[in-house]
Chain A
Amino acid sequence: MKTDVIEKKLGESTLRHTERLALWKKIKAAWQDDGVIGVEGLLGGMAASLEEKKSQICTRLAKEVGINDGDNQES
């Protein structure tokens, strides 16, 4: 895999190229170390972290507003 080409392309991004390169380096490392499982684990972990953050914020929001936290889970 020509990772240098990928990095060059990402470096050319007009937006967030530093963040994109950093994310790519993580994906590349996971791919090289553990292949599909590694990338699934990395992205799955990021997703889980976002999910957890979302869940915590929503719990706090529900508490602040004073509604049952379970209500929004139904949505």
Chain B
Amino acid sequence: MATIKSLKPSYFRGFTKECPLDLSSPVTILYGGNAVGKSSVLNVIEWCLFGESCTGRDTGLRERVDWEPQNRKDPDKCKVQLVCQFDDGEVVFERGTSKKRGRSGLVIEFLGGTRLQGDDAELWVKKNIGSFSNFMATVYQHQENIRHLAVAQPKDQREAISRLLGLSDYNDLAELIRKSDLTRVMDSIEKELDWWDHLAYEKTSALTEHNKQIGQKISVDPDTVFPETVKEAASRVLGLTSNFTGKKKGKWELPVVPTSPDAFNDFVSIVIKCARDCFGALPVTERSQELNEEVTKIEGAIGRLRQAAEEKGTANKKLRDFEQEHGTSKDIGEVVSKLTEKKCGLEERLKALNQLTAALNSLLTYMTEHGQGLGEGECPACGSRTSDQQAYLRQRVEALLSTEGKSIQDELKDTGRLEKEAEETLRELERKERQLETAIKTMASAEKEVAQNLLITWKENEDPLQVLKKRLEATKSEAAKVEEELKKAADNLLSIETECDRLKDLAIIWANHELSKRLSSIKDGLTYKELKSLGEEAGQLKLDCQAIVDAVISARDIESHDIVKASKSKVREYFAALADNPGIDAIEMTMETKWGSENYSFCDSAGENVIPILSLGDLNSLALAIFAGLGEANRDALAFRSIVFDDPSQSMGSHHKKKLAELINTLAQKRQVIVSTMDKEFFEALNSDITAHKKCVTFEGWDPELGPRISD
């Protein structure tokens, strides 16, 4: 059994700085007003040992909902240390909120330096100290729990008293076995057996319906489909395929008829592939392709030659039409030459006229400058008789220029225009000649190319287009014959494929028949029997587990009967000492087992339940009497020798308080006691009545910066 030696909170609840506290005395009294840190000291013990388990709704304590262990000033520095003395040495527990301390934050150090941390440390606490609820029932009498023990619902009361009796192991173990995965697995095996039992019927009906549908599809009565039927159909398919591929023996290997219905899908796939490959490689298939290509080529060639011939004809016609309208190039050339010649003559004449007028003008200038020819006389140029030589001469020059000169110029202009037109006509004719020449060359080139493509040699005086048309007709005729042969082959292939589809359906009917047979005889099979046997084995195991649970509960009841029997006088004695109620002569704690659960009752000597008539103070007294009495009777089974009271004198009068102090003095003879109280009267009673070595720790106040102010 362990005792608490010391603790050291730091940034825990109301504590800020590190605050070591020695609790090694047989009795420690924590005394002070409200909210000065007394309960926080007790909280250190539980949080250090149980961490998260002592917070939250599951604790059953209202105050633990949303409870924060860390001081908000610096939550990351929250750390507590608890030193306990076990039979085999001192053990130091340390818990912090820092993640560095391992996942759970708990570190345990044993004498000699061995350390455990994280999950290993939590497991050690679970095994050697027990659960938080166990601790609450046997060590730490929380004020909220005091009355609960006496007036709680039977189930909660049972649990609390069982823990107090050190019997929680029985309950925990029985519960573990009851709720183990074994139960689920056993149920699932039973469910599996049921499933297989139902399968035969449901699946067989579905298979029959499926066969009926297939039968309708292929016009066959499914009941007349036997393995032989399917195999015969397969042989027919093989025969058809073999005939089809016969011309290429050895190359197309056909499969053998399967013996299992499941193998027919593969069989059919191979047969169809074989037939299709063979069809693709038939001579008529190849020839049909060749002929079709040939037809395409010839039609292309005909088109090409037709186009070239058309172009040539068009060019030729245009040239002839032009020649008809404008004459040949020779004719036009002659016209151009004549016009050129005429133009040259006109230019010569104009040139002569210009020289003449220039000479006359020179003469006229000379005469004017020298005052000659002002009167009648002969014209020095033509010798004609004139009245005024200069005027005559001037008149002559002007007449020459305006009549003859103009006439020559007009004619020259017309001749030039005509010459240009003739030249343009000639050029146009030459263009048309060139176009014809190009069309002729294109035609020749097309004929040459077609000849090369179609491997034809044109004979002299042979019309390539006619040659091609004849060839096209012959090729088409051959293609039609080949196509007919090909269609026959395609029909054969289609009939093989149709037979294959039918074969597949027949094989499905066969497979469904087989599956139905297997389903009908499922229960006769060894594997089903093996499953059945596993189910029986699981059922036995279930009964074995139930028998073990019954044995565990039975052992618990025997032990609890013994403890209750041994402790009932202590409970009676402590209650009498605490309550001193004249209305109740004595209190009798009894236990009976109903439906696998033990129920506790508290009656007076007349056998009447006393709970309904107890005052609040008496209920507290009863709870404390049960707590102390059972703990006393069963103390060897407890992990801790310590007992912690948190404000136990609530609702008690002076007399009760005095009695409680006396009771604690009695308990302190055998257990280490830590009492927290704010009750001055009770504190004084403790101070005066406790004879064991005691230590009083006074909480004088609390400062937000410094935490609790404590004096020993």
- Interface residues of chain A, those whose CB is within 8 Å of chain B, are 1-3, 5-7, 9-10, 13, 15-16, 19-20, 23-24, 27, 31, 34-37, 39-40, 43-44, 46-48, 50-51, 53-54, 57-58, 60-61, 64-67, 72, 75
Contact = CB atoms under 8 A, between A and B. Distances in A.
Nearest to A52: B185
Contacts of B534: 50, 53-54, 57
B123 A48 contact: no
B192 A5 contact: no
A26 to B, nearest CB: 10
Contact of A27 (B173, B519, B541, B559): B173
Contacts of A35: 123, 126-127
Residue among A6, A15, A60, A75 with most chain B CB within 10 A: A6
Contact of B192 (A2, A36, A47, A58): A58
Contacts, number: 130
Interface in B299-332: none
A50 B180 contact: no
Contact of B531 (A7, A10, A31, A61): A61
27 contacts: A1-B173, A2-B559, A5-B551, A5-B558, A9-B550, A9-B551, A10-B548, A13-B547, A16-B543, A19-B544, A27-B177, A34-B123, A35-B126, A35-B127, A36-B126, A36-B176, A43-B182, A47-B180, A50-B538, A54-B189, A57-B531, A58-B192, A61-B528, A64-B527, A67-B515, A72-B196, A75-B192
B365 to A, nearest CB: 132
Looking at chain B's contact residues, the main secondary structure is helix
Ranked 9 nearest A-B pairs via Cβ: A47-B181, A43-B180, A9-B551, A5-B555, A75-B195, A47-B185, A6-B551, A61-B527, A6-B555
A50 B185 contact: yes
Given A36-B172, A40-B176, A61-B522, 10 more contacts: A9-B550, A16-B543, A19-B540, A20-B548, A31-B169, A40-B180, A57-B527, A57-B531, A60-B527, A65-B518
A58 B177 contact: no
B705 interface: no
A30 to B, nearest CB: 10
Given A23-B544, A43-B181, A54-B534, A2 B558 contact: yes
B515 A50 contact: no
A45 B269 CA distance: 48
A39 B534 CA distance: 22
Contacts of A36: 126, 172, 176
B190 to A, nearest CB: 10
B514 interface: yes
B527 A54 contact: no
A9 B528 CA distance: 36
A62 to B, nearest CB: 9
Nearest to A65: B518
A9 B185 contact: no
B42 to A, nearest CB: 26
